[in-house]
Chain A
Amino acid sequence: MEQTTSLPPRKAQASSFLTTFRQLAHSVGPEAASGLRWSLAGLIAASALQGFGLAAIAPLLTAAATDPDLSRALMWFGVMVVLMAVASALRWIAQGFDFDGRMVRATWRLRGQLGVKLREIPLERLQDKRAGELNSMVLGNVDENLLYALTVLNLVFTAIVTPLCAALGILLFDWRLGLLLLLIFPAIIPLYHWRRPALGRGKRILSQAHQSASADVLEYTQGLPVLRAAGRAGEKAARLTQTFEKLEAIQVFGHRKGAKPNIIVASIVEVGLLIVLAFGIWLVMAGSLHAATLGALFVIVVRISEPLSTFILYTAMLEVMEAALERIGSLMATKPLPQATPEQMPTNHVIKFENVGFSYAQADRQTITAFNATLTERSLTALVGPSGCGKTTLTRLLLRHFDPQQGAITIGGVDLRNIPADRINSLISVVFQDVYLFNDTVMANIRMGRPEATDAEVIAAAEAAQCLDFIGRLPQGWQTPLGEIGGRLSGGERQRISIARALLKDAPIIVLDEPTAALDTESELAVQRALDALVASKTVIVIAHRLSTIVGADQILVIEEGALAQSGRHAELLEEGGRYARMWAAQGAAKQWLGGR
């Protein structure tokens, strides 16, 4: 919505149609573009012929009323029937683009491309957008804007081209009336452009109000236990009541603002047409127009007045469509991270951070500054430090979710930027703090670690990851779909599935992001065993909060505000004193708490 209004104002309506068309042609793809072009041409031609067909009513009625011989009237009737029939046939054929399923196929193709694109674009860009937003882009925008494009355009054409051609047709029959009718069109456009920004403003205010109301509602439902415990729910929730009242006020305000351009254009059209009719009566009085022709003019004017006065509604739809197509276009235009040449593959798995500096796109300060570290092959390195110090960013840099602005990260001496993207992923397995389970069977969820693995291999990995006992308890065992019951698995059970995945993948480098952060005691032990199986003889990076879990690490890197504060083994760091020793002492104290007073 917001983007609709931020578009620069267009000079003329025609250019807007061209933009829309270009975007449409681009979205449906090269194979369908020419079909789309023909279809649009057909729709325009049909609307034009329909307009001329309408105009034919004037001579037809005049002939019927003045000429005792039926042949002239019949001739005009024939002309009208032919025009209408051709118009209908053209429209029928043109709409075939929709009805033959060509448009649906085009949307299908576009969505497939969007899906491919999503796999390429830098994850950082992807994580900016929320899933809901992308969903509405891939599902909503594609559907609403492509599937209904022809319908909307057809409406626009009948609202503009048909009246225009009807006026032109009348011009041929009676230039005075035709000219007067044609005068209405230039009167509408500047007015429309003058008022259009108001339409956008109203919409923007409204969409903001809805957004904030929606956030407040969510806060209310999520905070219900607290609010109720405090006796401030329901009618006593003053803030929520205020939000709703404000929303209503803004809705009314926005409605008034938004309705204005529509009212103005409709008034011009209605008044203009009334003037044409009055002029027609005057011509009849002056004896230079037959009353029956005037009657025909009435019929034609009545036909064209409604679409003409409401065309703004349709152009608003066009603008929404344009904005949506633009969003899709900009997503499609997102470039994947560049692949440096020559492509190289590392021969060993020593990881080096060399003077790495990185800041996120919107951040005002560096997240990682001049970071140096070497992780020897098959060593275990722990990253510790307060939350937000940059630990996770370091692992994401290693996974090449984004590139550092300064310095380089190398695996086996090869810069990450020279390693093909899919090869990086084959080198590294990640066990995240939160486990994503797919809406598929347990078997498939584990097998995604290595799709070609045999059942026996999957089961072996699950066994090593301590999964067998709980998988056995699931209602359909290995074939249980996790979409329905994923929520019923405990954190530890989910974690073990993800470890099994990583075991199956058997990558030489393992990244663990707080894998034991939120587990129940029973699970903790099992997850610990699973992790031990996973990290055996690998190069391991672990992010840990609980220091006791990493006392055995070969190297502990203490990170503070994006920089390396201390490094060494547990014992060395304790001896050294400083940040690590303080953290260790604090956690030791916590452990001593014995639950009483």
Chain B
Amino acid sequence: MVTDSSTASATQGADPSVKYPDKNTKRRKHPSPWRILKPVQARVRFAMAISASSALFGLAVMVQLMMVVQRLLQDPDVVPWGWFCGAAVCTVAAYAARLGAFNQAHYAAFRLERLLRMGLADRLSKVSLGYVETQGAGALAKVIHDDVKALHVFVADSTPLYARAYVTPLVTLVLLLVLDWRLALVALVVLGIGYGILSRAQSRRRDMVRSYNAAREKVSAAVVEYVQAMPVVRNFDSGKMSFARYQEALDGYLKVMLDWYRAAGFPARFSWLVLSPMPTLTLVLGAGLLLTSMGDLSVSRWLGVLLICTGMAEAMMPMMMLRHMIEKVALSVARIEEVMNAPELAARSGAVESTDPNAPALRFEDVSFSYNNDHDQALRNISFSVAPGSVTALVGPSGAGKTTVARLIPRFWDVTSGKIELGGVDIRNMDADRLMEKVAFVFQESFLFADTIAENIRIGRPEASDEEVIAAARSAQAHGFINELPQGYDTPVGERGVFLSGGQRQRIAIARALLQSRPILVLDEATAFADPENEAELIVALSELMRGRTVIMVAHRLATIRDADQILVFNRGQIAERGKHDDLVGQGGLYARLWRNYEMAQNWSLGSGRRDAQSLTEAE
């Protein structure tokens, strides 16, 4: 499916970096990743405490090893078993504690992943479907899966290191000062120089990271485009243009990387060198040599310093290395929190039962709507009402607003002004459950779950019996093809129903809606994707579904709505014309034009113009 343009836009939409361009992240300060830990805070703290204790045990080993040597120097004949055993025990304890911290942090991370995923899934069941649609199912799935997964490196790997990075340098410094303040100073100076240079290397880091990410994104987009468009590319330009764009993205990336190395390479490299253990060790050895030769320092103290002096840098370095990863985590946290904070589609307090028994099944009252408040209005002052049991068709050129009207009814979004009433009740007073009791939807493309056919139908009403499921399938003209399948109703439909044709999927969706048996039915281009062979059956199925219900349908095939009770013709967000088919055709307005076009399109056959051309050339 490399040519599929919708996949292309979906992947682009799914790419979180597209959704959160750098402009935004620059303005908004990254949220602290620590906040997201809340659900497993106790466990993480526990892990950090064990990790800190492991660091302390480690330092205790050093001190005890120093004492072993000191005792042996004083009196080589007495075994310092106490100190040695202490060192051995502390070694084991340090290792066990480190492992324990590592395990605890990992278990906490896994638990957090589950809790966050469930929380996100739950939140998505409460937000408006419009939010789901604008964000894109793929992008949201990415947040639930990938972004939550991305937290792992922070929660599982970094939190124990954080504890060490704070505890070890402090305690080490104290120990060093106790042992010998001059050598402590030497170690500190090296550390200071290292960090001084490192911070210089980091000074332009933010800009660098930003241009790096931007360049990387460009490469990524270029690759996706290049690969997805390959059939088109090969057919049309042997790949010249898109290959050039791909190459251009690569060149941009190369330039950014080279710039980065040029600007930050030397200080980074130099500070890594200074902060590695060897320079500190060498300098402390040299200074120690000097001091011992002056008789100012005992060998055992010198040894003690040598054992611990590199600990400060060593504890802090991993944090520097992880920094880049943790910055990435902050982006994931921001995305997770954004979904978590998405506004819930709440029911306003207000009447949920109508007092007016004669209220229309559906009424739009002066409804205006815009997708973003600052943008053009998608709908302006729409008013109409639908009598119970009638069929209302929404037609008009693409972009005229008819699909928006259909999607306002299930509260994909709420109106900007005006109101929509179902049976006399403002739909904003209804929560999702109540609304769903009244309205059923059949969308342009029907969605099937990777489950059996029976379960896919039953999802309309989980408590339905097998007989009811089969009856619904019969009415939806699906029983026939289902019975021909190897396992009948127990046949798995495959991921998103891939084992079935478009028309078959659509009929299963109709069976689902039949089973739900709700009074109001919204059809959004329900026949758009039918293959012609199945179309006749699909149409019977739809007629079954529409029987006795109040129907609002968006339609392109005008033949399908000739008998509608009411046709609303939309143009640029307004109702341009309304009435019955014959009246509207008679008026000679927009609908009449649409109808004419439609009839012409229906009678077209490919190459009708060319036969004239051909006869001309033949005449020559």
Interface contact A595-B564, CB-CB below 8 Å: yes
Binds A, one of B3-11, B166-174, B188-196: B3-11
Distance in angstroms between the alpha carbons of A448 and B243 in the assembled complex: 12
B66 proximity list for chain A (CB < 8 A) = 295, 298
A252 proximity list for chain B (CB < 8 A) = 106-107, 110
Q: Mark A232-247, 1 if CB is under 8 A from B, else 0.
A: 1111110011001101
Q: How far is the CB of B415 from chain A (nearest CB, A)?
A: 19
Q: Could you say which of A112, A281, A547 contacts B84, with CB atoms under 8 Å apart?
A: A281
Residue B589 interfacial (CB < 8 Å): no
B266 proximity list for chain A (CB < 8 A) = 99
Q: How far is the CB of B188 from chain A (nearest CB, A)?
A: 19
Indicate whether A77 sits within 8 Å of B495 (C-beta atoms), given known contacts A119-B238, A135-B220.
Answer: no
Interface centre among A219, A444, A524, A593 (most CB of B within 10 A): A593
Q: How many residues of B contact A (CB 8 A)?
A: 175
Residue B607 interfacial (CB < 8 Å): yes
Interface contact A99-B269, CB-CB below 8 Å: yes
Within 8 A of A (CB), among B197-231: 216, 219-221, 223-231
Binds A, one of B41-49, B140-148, B357-365: B140-148
A80 proximity list for chain B (CB < 8 A) = 282, 285
Interface contact B236-A505, CB-CB below 8 Å: yes
Indicate whether A596 sits within 8 Å of B536 (C-beta atoms), given known contacts A126-B230, A439-B225.
Answer: no
Indicate whether A440 sits within 8 Å of B245 (C-beta atoms), given known contacts A112-B250, A227-B459.
Answer: yes
Q: Mark A494-522, 1 if CB is under 8 A from B, else 0.
A: 10000001000100000010000010111
Within 8 A of B (CB), among A281-327: 281, 284-285, 287, 291-292, 294-296, 298-299, 302-303
A64 proximity list for chain B (CB < 8 A) = 288-289, 292-293, 299
Residue B606 interfacial (CB < 8 Å): yes
A505 proximity list for chain B (CB < 8 A) = 236
Closest to B237 in A: A448
Interface contact A218-B137, CB-CB below 8 Å: yes
Binds B, one of A170-178, A407-415, A430-438: A430-438
Interface contact A221-B144, CB-CB below 8 Å: yes
Assign chain A's interface to a size class.
Answer: 35 or more
Residue B470 interfacial (CB < 8 Å): no
Interface contact B238-A425, CB-CB below 8 Å: yes
Residue B232 interfacial (CB < 8 Å): yes
Residue B27 interfacial (CB < 8 Å): no
15 further interface pairs, Cβ-Cβ under 8 Å (given A434-B5, A448-B242)? A57-B285, A61-B303, A64-B289, A84-B279, A215-B495, A222-B141, A231-B433, A248-B113, A425-B238, A439-B225, A522-B397, A535-B606, A540-B607, A583-B532, A597-B543
Interface contact A590-B535, CB-CB below 8 Å: yes
B12 proximity list for chain A (CB < 8 A) = 483
Indicate whether A131 sits within 8 Å of B535 (C-beta atoms), given known contacts A99-B269, A118-B230, A245-B114.
Answer: no
Residue B483 interfacial (CB < 8 Å): no
Distance in angstroms between the alpha carbons of A266 and B391 in the assembled complex: 75
Interface contact A112-B535, CB-CB below 8 Å: no
B384 proximity list for chain A (CB < 8 A) = none
Residue A74 interfacial (CB < 8 Å): yes
Distance in angstroms between the alpha carbons of A580 and B126 in the assembled complex: 50
Interface contact A108-B253, CB-CB below 8 Å: yes
Q: Could you say which of A108, A524, A595 contacts B250, with CB atoms under 8 Å apart?
A: A108
Report 25 cross-chain contacts, Cβ distance below 8 Å, ordered by A residue: A64-B288, A64-B289, A84-B278, A92-B273, A104-B258, A118-B227, A127-B2, A222-B496, A224-B124, A225-B443, A251-B113, A291-B69, A298-B303, A386-B533, A436-B3, A436-B229, A501-B236, A512-B606, A521-B598, A522-B398, A522-B594, A532-B608, A590-B539, A594-B559, A595-B563
Within 8 A of B (CB), among A568-597: 583, 586-587, 589-591, 593-597
Interface contact A546-B532, CB-CB below 8 Å: yes
B265 proximity list for chain A (CB < 8 A) = 99
Q: How far is the CB of A332 from chain B (nearest CB, A)?
A: 15
A594 proximity list for chain B (CB < 8 A) = 559-560, 562-563
Indicate whether A428 sits within 8 Å of B114 (C-beta atoms), given known contacts A532-B610, A552-B605.
Answer: no
Q: How far is the CB of A82 from chain B (nearest CB, A)?
A: 11
Interface contact B76-A524, CB-CB below 8 Å: no
Distance in angstroms between the alpha carbons of A334 and B131 in the assembled complex: 44
Interface centre among A57, A100, A225 (most CB of B within 10 A): A225
Indicate whether A131 sits within 8 Å of B224 (C-beta atoms), given known contacts A263-B99, A295-B300.
Answer: yes
B613 proximity list for chain A (CB < 8 A) = 536-537
Binds B, one of A15-23, A187-195, A270-278: A270-278
Residue A41 interfacial (CB < 8 Å): no
Q: Could you say which of A81, A217, A448 contacts B117, with CB atoms under 8 Å apart?
A: A217
B227 proximity list for chain A (CB < 8 A) = 118, 126, 131, 134-135
A294 proximity list for chain B (CB < 8 A) = 68-69, 72
B322 proximity list for chain A (CB < 8 A) = none
B393 proximity list for chain A (CB < 8 A) = 595
Indicate whether A266 sits within 8 Å of B95 (C-beta atoms), given known contacts A60-B285, A219-B449, A292-B73.
Answer: yes
B57 proximity list for chain A (CB < 8 A) = none
Residue A380 interfacial (CB < 8 Å): yes
A115 proximity list for chain B (CB < 8 A) = 226, 243, 246-247, 250
Residue B239 interfacial (CB < 8 Å): yes
Distance in angstroms between the alpha carbons of A284 and B398 in the assembled complex: 92
Q: Mark A556-568, 1 if CB is under 8 A from B, else 0.
A: 0000000000000
Residue B178 interfacial (CB < 8 Å): no
Interface contact A104-B516, CB-CB below 8 Å: no
Interface contact B605-A595, CB-CB below 8 Å: no
Residue B328 interfacial (CB < 8 Å): no
Interface centre among A215, A226, A399, A536 (most CB of B within 10 A): A226
Interface contact B235-A429, CB-CB below 8 Å: yes
Q: How far is the CB of B80 from chain A (nearest CB, A)?
A: 8
Indicate whether A92 sits within 8 Å of B269 (C-beta atoms), given known contacts A224-B129, A425-B238, A523-B398.
Answer: yes
Residue A348 interfacial (CB < 8 Å): no
Distance in angstroms between the alpha carbons of A439 and B66 in the assembled complex: 67
Distance in angstroms between the alpha carbons of A528 and B601 in the assembled complex: 7
B151 proximity list for chain A (CB < 8 A) = none
Q: How far is the CB of B367 from chain A (nearest CB, A)?
A: 21
Residue B600 interfacial (CB < 8 Å): yes
Interface contact B125-A228, CB-CB below 8 Å: yes
Residue B241 interfacial (CB < 8 Å): yes
Interface contact A244-B117, CB-CB below 8 Å: yes
Residue A139 interfacial (CB < 8 Å): yes
Q: How far is the CB of A55 from chain B (nearest CB, A)?
A: 13
Q: How far is the CB of B209 from chain A (nearest CB, A)?
A: 15
Residue B602 interfacial (CB < 8 Å): yes
Q: How far is the CB of A322 from chain B (nearest CB, A)?
A: 22
B4 proximity list for chain A (CB < 8 A) = 434
B239 proximity list for chain A (CB < 8 A) = 119
Interface contact B2-A428, CB-CB below 8 Å: no
Q: How far is the CB of B217 from chain A (nearest CB, A)?
A: 10
Q: How far is the CB of A84 from chain B (nearest CB, A)?
A: 5
Q: Could you say which of B3, B5, B216, B300 contacts A494, with CB atoms under 8 Å apart?
A: B5
Q: Could you say which of B223, B292, B306, B556 contacts A134, with CB atoms under 8 Å apart?
A: B223
Q: Mark A64-83, 1 if CB is under 8 A from B, else 0.
A: 11000010011001001100
Residue B450 interfacial (CB < 8 Å): yes
Residue B82 interfacial (CB < 8 Å): no
Residue A204 interfacial (CB < 8 Å): no
Q: Could you say which of A112, A143, A267 contacts B247, with CB atoms under 8 Å apart?
A: A112
B609 proximity list for chain A (CB < 8 A) = 532-533, 536
Residue B372 interfacial (CB < 8 Å): no
Q: Which 5 A-B pairs have the closest CB atoms?
A: A234-B125, A233-B125, A596-B563, A291-B72, A590-B535
Closest to A513 in B: B3
Residue B32 interfacial (CB < 8 Å): no
Q: How far is the CB of B399 from chain A (nearest CB, A)?
A: 7
Distance in angstroms between the alpha carbons of A444 and B240 in the assembled complex: 12
Indicate whether A299 sits within 8 Å of B303 (C-beta atoms), given known contacts A101-B261, A522-B398, A595-B391.
Answer: yes
Distance in angstroms between the alpha carbons of A244 and B65 in the assembled complex: 48
Closest to B560 in A: A595
